[in-house]
Amino acid sequence: MKDYLYIIRGGDDLSGFSAEQMQAHMQDWQKWMAGIAEKGQLVGGEPLENPGKTLINKGTKVIDRPLAEGKELVGGYLIMKAENLDAAVELAKGCPGFEHDCSIEVREIGQL
């Protein structure tokens, strides 16, 4: 199996969620990821915090990030194992983040 990176972008602003709604949302994620882990396909992943920096101009300039619109903001990543890109895409279709309008970019991780 090959490793694939899921870049999770956008989604609804969950800051207005009640504690119960947030707990239910997190349980959906945990259930989905546990099912993938049981199959040995979950390598890892984490949510990303909003503050960040980007180096540009050959590393001579540092700017605050993210500057992207909410739908473009990278909120987290996962690394999954799959036989091929199509299988990785199928696995991503079960993501509970789609209920909150996220998008997922699926990319094979290259070998050095």
pLDDT, tens only, 54-68: 888 999 999 887 665
Two tokens, residue 20: 């119960």
Domains in the chain, number:
1
Residue 97 lies in domain? 2-108
Report the CATH number at residue 86.
3.30.70.1060
Q: What is the pLDDT of residues 30-51, one digit of tens each?
A: 999 999 999 999 999 988 887 7
- CA 29, 89, 68 angle in degrees (round to 5)? 70
